[in-house]
Structure 1
């Protein structure tokens, strides 16, 4: 089933028979480890098959646990091993708050620098996914997480990039999940991918919630 998410090229999500288009920001909502892993393993396994550049930030499981699961699902693949240049497994600290402080503007620069580097030898598709439970810790600046999520809707469109932000609905409050829905144009829930009717364009969301972060 194809979900038209942009005017860019089509890709296989690796989830059921779903396809969509590059340049999209999706939230993955899950309740169980099995649901979470089905999204992660399916999404990244398809990326290996398609030779995409991949970013994954594990939090609820260790990198070693993930690598074992991924290797079992992809026995022919050495991706996720040390030295694999196209498969980046990053800790939450490495990715989101390397200096101990979370900043949407710093994230803008980090992702833009990563994208520029990824394209230096020609066009490459990028798949990114992260378990967002790191944001439940008392990290300075984490109150701006939804600002970052909203601003991703400026960064991702038009690029050969797809991000799936993974939220455990058993750990986040209902109000936080509502804001997650307001900042992601598409959702995965129960294995079903849909356009999100609660999504608010970043121009409007930021104007109402964080006008200092409007472009």
Structure 2
């Protein structure tokens, strides 16, 4: 495991590595949580990666800029990356758990080589509502991240709109995250299941490239 680093979210001081599901009922509530988290990371010289729909990038960058972040400077140095779901999660119009896992792992390794002691990442999971090919691998992917994060000084926040996802899906998502943000507060998730137990239940896992 890499050296633990501290970070704050929802007013709580925590240590990496950490994989968090953020349940939000509005964009306003989402930004109340992630803006301080991102701002602190940039001030601490962490690598910061944001992934969201391409058509939200302008709004996202304006929101960060309004909170005192020099977007142009951070983007130019590469400390801040704002990536599109269409080029990451659903590249070529489909989701592949193994491909996304490998892409994230490569980004984490690149950040370490660039001298960053810690990485903060948050991804908006709304792409999963498009029902594109491979979306059924979402839970496999989320479970697998709990095998990736202990290898890095990283905090990941997977952001879910509770008004858009079904209650059954949100219940399943809870199984794959050790910590949860709800109503603007973060807590240890009592419903979390270890990845080895979850992954063994995926019927097609034996033929998947995601093997650990």
Q: Distance in 2 between matches of 1:103 and 1:145?
A: 9
Secondary structure of the 2:150 match is coil
Tell me which residue corresponds to 1:15.
10
1:59 aligned to 2:87? Answer: no
In 2 relative to 1, CA 9–150 (structure 1 residues): closer, same or farther, beyond 3 Å? Answer: same
Gaps of 5+ in 1: 1-5
Tell me which residue corresponds to 1:151.
144
Greater helix share, 1 or 2? 2
Q: Distance in 1 between matches of 2:2 and 2:211?
A: 25
Question: CA offsets per residue over residues 52-76 of structure 1, 9 Å max, x none?
Answer: 101101239611111111111115x
Q: Distance in 1 between matches of 2:75 and 2:116?
A: 24
Q: Distance in 2 between matches of 1:8 and 1:198?
A: 27
Large movers: runs of 4+ above 4 Å: 79-82
Bigger mean CA offset, 141-150 vs 200-209: 200-209
Q: Distance in 2 between matches of 1:178 and 1:99?
A: 29
In 2 relative to 1, CA 80–142 (structure 1 residues): closer, same or farther, beyond 3 Å? Answer: farther
Q: CA deviation at 1:116?
A: 1.7
Structure 1 vs Structure 2 CA RMSD: 2.1
Give the TM-score normalised by structure 2: 0.90
1:31 aligned to 2:25? Answer: yes
Question: CA offsets per residue over residues 23-79 of structure 1, 9 Å max, x none?
Answer: 11000001122111112212111111111101101239611111111111115x235
Secondary structure of the 1:9 match is coil
Q: Distance in 2 between matches of 1:105 and 1:45?
A: 30
1:192 aligned to 2:185? Answer: yes
Tell me which residue corresponds to 2:163.
170
Question: CA offsets per residue over residues 55-111 of structure 1, 9 Å max, x none?
Answer: 101239611111111111115x23576524111101101121223221111112111
Question: CA offsets per residue over residues 141-194 of structure 1, 9 Å max, x none?
Answer: 011111100000000013111100000110000110001100001001112111
Alpha-carbon contact 2:126-2:161 (below 8 Å) kept: yes
In 2 relative to 1, CA 195–182 (structure 1 residues): closer, same or farther, beyond 3 Å? Answer: same
Alpha-carbon contact 1:150-1:205 (below 8 Å) kept: yes
Tell me which residue corresponds to 1:99.
92
Q: Distance in 1 between matches of 2:151 and 2:163?
A: 33
1:77-116 mapped onto 2 (5 Å cutoff): 77-78=70-71, 82-116=75-109
Number of residue pairs the alignment of both structures matches:
208
